[in-house]
Amino acid sequence: MHVLVTAGPTREPIDPVRFISNRSSGKMGYAVAAAFAARGHEVVLVSGPVALAAPAGVSRVQVQTADEMLAAVSARLEWCGALVMAAAVADWRPRRAAAAKLKKAAMPVALELEAAPDILRALAERKGGRVFVGFAAETGDPLPEARRKLREKKLDLIVANDVSRAGSGFEADTNKVTLLPAGGAPIDLPLMSKRGVAERIAEWVLDRAAGASAAAAET
């Protein structure tokens, strides 16, 4: 199977020195890419800036901004059978980025922001028979927001977690998640390593793809 995975944060520039970003370490997305590659699948990892080595057997594409990530994913969508969007893409970006470093005295008191592209929403009409997986990282109960994203972004599965819980944040090596399949019951996983969570995601995606292939063969 051809699998496209995104990971890490994006950086939205204020000027050539400063940017808006988030605390994503990329560990979850890199673990997902490694889990599929270990099973012998061909994996392309579109990564924001992180301090991680590419997993063995994985082709990595480095990006910085949400626009760059959207372009990289869009260019490879026809190639893949599954897209796992584990990246923490910035929701907002400065409306204008300065071409030179802004001096302290010239820095605006308030930044004018605009929405960054929503990658899954932008690609929803091109989904076809591909398996789409998203993530919902929230503080507090993540399930209401995860259900909204699952429905509105036409996902097959969303992985929901409360990043304010111990061992479940962006920089931890463990995660406590709930898998929410479209039209299925939630699967509440215990606290486990991010690689363990990645294995469960990979199993679900491969089972879903196999089921879809079998159904297509019967027709």
Predicted TM-score (pTM) of this structure: 0.95
Spot the catalytic one: 2, 15, 18, 22: 22
91: left (phi over 0), alpha (psi -120 to 50) or beta: alpha
> Which of the residues in the chain have pLDDT under 50?
none
Pick from 140, 150, 23: nearest CA to 85 = 150
The CB-based long-range contact list for 172-180 (8 Å cut-off, 24+ gap) reads 172/27, 173/27, 175/28, 178/142, 178/143, 178/146, 179/204, 180/143, 180/146, 180/147, 180/150
The pLDDT of residue 106 is 83
Alpha carbon distance 9, 106 (integer Å): 28
Tokens for 204? 């679900």
pLDDT of 213: 64
Distance (Å, rounded) from C-alpha 61 to C-alpha 50? 12
Active site residue 22: yes
Domain ranges (residues) in the chain: 2-99+108-218
According to CATH, the superfamily of the domain at 2-99+108-218 is CoaB-like (3.40.50.10300)
